[in-house]
Amino acid sequence: MGNSRITSPTAVQPPAMQAIQTNDPRCAQAVISHRWSGSAVQTPVEATHECTAEIRDAHVRKALSEMGSSDVDTLARRLKGRGDESTTTTTLASDLPATSTSTAAGDTTQTSTAKPSDDVEDDINDANDFVDQILEEVQTSETIQSKISPASLGTLQYNGFVLSNALLYGVNSVYRSDNCTFRFGDSSFDVLVHLGARDLALESDWKRTWLFIPFGGKLSAKVEDVSISMDINVDNNGTPSLRKLKVARLSDIRITRATGASVLFNWALRSILNWAVNANKGRIIQLVETDGAMAINEAMKDLGTKLTSLNEFRKR
C-alpha cells in the first residue's frame, strides 16, 4: 500500500489495491479511512456498489495477504470504534492468512502477520487522556468557574408558581463515563464521548398566591442522573473543535429542601414544587448544553498545544 493514492475507481492500482477498491465496499472504506491525516484520498463511490457476497471474502483475503502487516494493522485500527463497520475490524484481524517460513529441515512454520491490539488500546487511552485533560481544565480553571459555577436559569414559572433567582450548580462536575470511540473521515477524525455530571443541583426562591394570600420560600433540588454525549472533531492540523454537546437523558429532579410552609404541609409543598421544577426540565437541559459547550471550548482554547495525549495519538 505504501504511498499509493486512490484517484478514481478506474485508476490502475496494484492487485491488492484493486481487490480492495473494486470488490468490497467495507475494505474500500477502510483504505479511505486509514489515510485520515495524510494526503487527500477520494472515495471510489462507484466501486462500493460493485461487490457481491460470492466474491467478497475471497477478494478480501487475497488482498490482505498481499499487504504488509503494518498496513493491515493500520486498516484495522482506523476502523476501531466505527459501529457500522465493527465486523470489518474483526474480519481484518481474524481472516488474515498466516505466512509460512521454511526451515533448514524443510518444515514450514506458520507465522501470523497480524499485530496485537496494543496500538488500538494506546489510541483509546490517548483519547481518554485527551478528554480527561479538557474536563480537568473545566473543573479547575478560575475563569471557567466564574462563568458557569453557578449558571443562572433566571425566572421559571409553572401553574402559578414563580421560581426566581434560579441557579444551576454542578455544570463543572462533568466526568467521562466510558471509553472514547472514534469516527474517521478523509482529513479529520472525531472523538466520541459519553459524559455524566456528579453534582447537578438547583436552588431558587419560590412564591405563589392562594386565596389572595402570598406564600413563598426557598427550595433546593438535585438531579439524580444525567447522560451527555459529546463529539470533538480534530482536523489534520491537530486542532480540536467541539462539534456537539447534547443531553441524552436527564432524570426527574428531586426536591431536597423547601421552606415556606408549616411542618404539617411541608410534604405537600415538596410534591407541588417537584411538579413546578420538572416542568422546566427543558430550560435546565438547554443551560447544561449551552454553558457546557462554552466551558469545553474555553478549556480547549486555554490548553492549546498542552493537549499532549492528542499529539501522541496523531503521531501513530
Range of the domain at 61: 15-116
- If asked whether residues 78 and 181 sit together in one domain, one would say no
Quick: pLDDT tens for 253-272: 999 988 887 654 667 788 88
For residues 66-80, average pLDDT:
51
Whole-angstrom CA distances from 214 to 174, 206, 261, 311 are 38, 11, 12, 60
Residue 6 placed within a domain: no
* pTM, full prediction: 0.59
pLDDT band of 113, cuts 50, 70, 90: very low
Quick: pLDDT tens for 116-138: 456 677 778 888 998 999 999 99
Residue 288 placed within a domain: yes
Cα separation, 95 vs 91, in Å, equals 5
Cα separation, 171 vs 124, in Å, equals 25
Phi first, then psi, for residue 239 (nearest 5°) are -90, 120
Cα separation, 184 vs 37, in Å, equals 10
- If asked whether residues 124 and 105 sit together in one domain, one would say no
Residue 2 placed within a domain: no
**For the chain, percent of residues with pLDDT exceeding 90:** 36
Cα separation, 298 vs 138, in Å, equals 8
- If asked whether residues 76 and 190 sit together in one domain, one would say no
Q: Which of 68, 95, 116 is the last residue of a domain?
A: 116
For residues 207-222, average pLDDT:
87
* Residue 265, pLDDT score: 62
Q: Which of 83, 116, 149 is the last residue of a domain?
A: 116
Residues near 195 by beta carbon (within 8 Å), at least 6 away in sequence: 135, 174, 175, 176, 177, 227, 228, 229, 230
* Residue 79, pLDDT score: 45
Q: Does the pLDDT at position 30 exceed 60?
A: no
Stretch among 21-30, 192-201, 212-221 having the lowest mean pLDDT: 21-30
For residues 295-314, average pLDDT:
75
Q: Does the pLDDT at position 20 exceed 70?
A: no
- If asked whether residues 102 and 135 sit together in one domain, one would say no
Cα separation, 221 vs 209, in Å, equals 22
Total structural domains within the chain:
2
Whole-angstrom CA distances from 4 to 15, 41, 172 are 12, 10, 46
Q: Which of 116, 150, 184 is the last residue of a domain?
A: 116
- The cell 477498491 sits on which residue? 21
- If asked whether residues 214 and 281 sit together in one domain, one would say yes
Rounded to the nearest 10°, the torsion over CA 34, 40, 46, 49 is 10
Residue 53 placed within a domain: yes
pLDDT band of 208, cuts 50, 70, 90: confident
- The alpha carbon of residue 38 and the mean position of all alpha carbons in its chain are separated, in whole angstroms, by 23
* Residue 8, pLDDT score: 36
* Residue 187, pLDDT score: 85
Residue with more model confidence, 36 or 245: 245
Question: Would you state the cell numbers that stand for residue 92, as one nine-digit string?
Answer: 481484518
Domain of residue 233, CATH code = 3.15.10.50
- If asked whether residues 206 and 226 sit together in one domain, one would say yes
